[in-house]
A and B are shown apart, each in its own frame.
Chain A
Amino acid sequence: MKTLALNKHLEFAILRVGVAITILSKIAVEFSYTDLLYSQKGIIQAFLSEPLKVTYSVSLPDVVVFLGIQNEHLFLNVLYTLFGISAVMLLIGFKTKINAGICLFIHMIVFNGYNLLTFGFDGFLFSLLFYTLIFPVQKVFSVDRYISKQEDEEILPETYRFYVRILQVHLCIVYFVAGYSKLGGQEWMNGTAIWSAINQPQFYTWFTPMIKSVASNPVVCAALTWGTLFAETLFPLLIWVKWGKIRMVILVGIVLMHVFIGAVMGLQLFAWIMIVFDLSAFGGIFRKESAKIRDRQPGFKAFEDRYPHQLYL
């Protein structure tokens, strides 16, 4: 009988499942616009995309020309359907590596072919899909693990730590660069950047009037602006400080910042992929904190002995 530990290597499960959900969400909101966005007769026509085309990698227009596709509408529908099926397989962890490879390839050719239309979210999805392909994510909470006949399917602790460390360092680079690049900006320094951001028409949401009324107070606006600057610039430092609950506080703070971006500015996909990145890199902090609470409460220990965090398959 195989056991599925519910708290082991959780970061890999978050990475694989989070990335798969991101792809499915992207397909859901993008499917009806694929012709407009990604066909050669779409909004970005060859005379504009050709000079900026990535020539040293595979791109969607190249694939269309190479395969001699006549019906681009049908081709894009088939491509996105395949993308969706592979994402579902990635979600459940069936033939994980193959499906991660398919998802990465499709995302890559679209990204390289129409990089004018991309924004931050696409870059992060690209990076995390790459990690999903490289890391042994198929060994955690997956159908692959259940049907595998190999006995040595456990990930070695030092290997696991190394992979998670790669995610952690990458995330720290992201936040440090995001914070550092803002330091010279007048709006960030005088505390009005958040006001400018929430007033952009493209970020208008149901919450905007309420947030505008709150953030129109200069003190609140400055607190939100400098809070963002503080969290981004100091995240790479504070997340390693093992004193009190600093790590937990900074992680919760940064996740809340993304919740704010998703809810108030309408950038749900970007917010989601960043939360997936945060939790797949540093989600272990929550596990350690909950373990500390468990150790302090004898009742939890007795409960856990009776009901271990394992499913017997």
Chain B
Amino acid sequence: MSSNIKNQVKTKLIKGFLIWHLLVVVLGSGLVRISNKTLEGVLFRYSSWTGGGFGYSFFSPNVGNQTVIKTYTMTNGNVLKQDAFGTGDNLFDCRFSAVIHTFRNQKAYELMSRIVASYLFAKYPGSGPAFISVGEYVPQSMAEYRTLKKESQFREIYNGTYTLK
């Protein structure tokens, strides 16, 4: 086979593959509802190797309220330390915020609190109990902001006190 024909075949194969890739991008984007488990499995597998086929529905259908975790820890020097998670201070917090937003049920909040507690006990060695409060941050309305009537609210949805044993 001459190199010219080889190149033509190669180009056609790449083109065919890229058209298939775009098809997966459409199917995985969430635009089409897929109920077939086999097809879904194929798409997941393909996406995990190529990055094609993720959902693109950001901030939808609504932006919603953000979940934030507030913590209060008494260190071994009897100093009260206050921390917050999900406030996007740095990339670690941004990524952890993604985890917090993934689950929205009581069991998950308890699990998240345990994770945060273990992080705090590692951060403040020898510390006492950690009080953890999970809540939604509810912004004031535009009118409330303009008239300074009401601040944004932290609405608690779960709390717990954790001790290192």
Contacts and interface: CB of A to CB of B under 8 A. Distances in A.
Given A43-B119, A130-B51, A212-B145, A56 B59 contact: no
A184 B30 CA distance: 15
Interface stretch (A66-74, A87-95, A162-170, A298-306): A162-170
A196 B142 contact: no
Nearest to B26: A173
12 contacts: A33-B90, A37-B92, A56-B48, A119-B98, A127-B50, A130-B50, A163-B18, A173-B25, A196-B63, A199-B137, A202-B86, A266-B88
Residue from the set B48, B63, B102 with the largest chain A CB neighbour count within 10 Å: B63
Nearest to A59: B48
A143 B118 CA distance: 49
B96 A195 contact: no
Interface residues of A, number: 65
Contacts of A173: 22, 25-26, 29, 31, 56
A116 B30 contact: no
Given A177-B29, A177-B55, A177-B56, A196 B18 contact: no
Interface in B95-131: 95-99, 102, 111, 115, 118-119
A36 interface: yes
Contact of B52 (A56, A117, A130): A130
B77 interface: no
B66 interface: yes
B15 interface: yes
Query: Interface range on chain B: under 10, 10 to 19, 20 to 34, or 35 or more?
Result: 35 or more
A289 interface: no
Interface in A142-163: 159, 162-163
B146 A197 contact: no
A140 to B, nearest CB: 17
B11 interface: yes
Nearest to A156: B11
A173 B57 CA distance: 11
A226 interface: no
Contacts of B99: 43-44, 116-117
A244 interface: no
Given A117-B95, A169-B22, A173-B26, A201 B66 contact: yes
B62 A200 contact: no
A187 B141 CA distance: 12
Interface stretch (A8-16, A216-224, A247-255, A280-288): A216-224
A200 B111 CA distance: 23
A193 B59 contact: yes
Interface string A13-57: 000000000000000011001001100000111001000001011
A197 B84 CA distance: 19
Contacts of A193: 59, 62-63
A138 interface: no
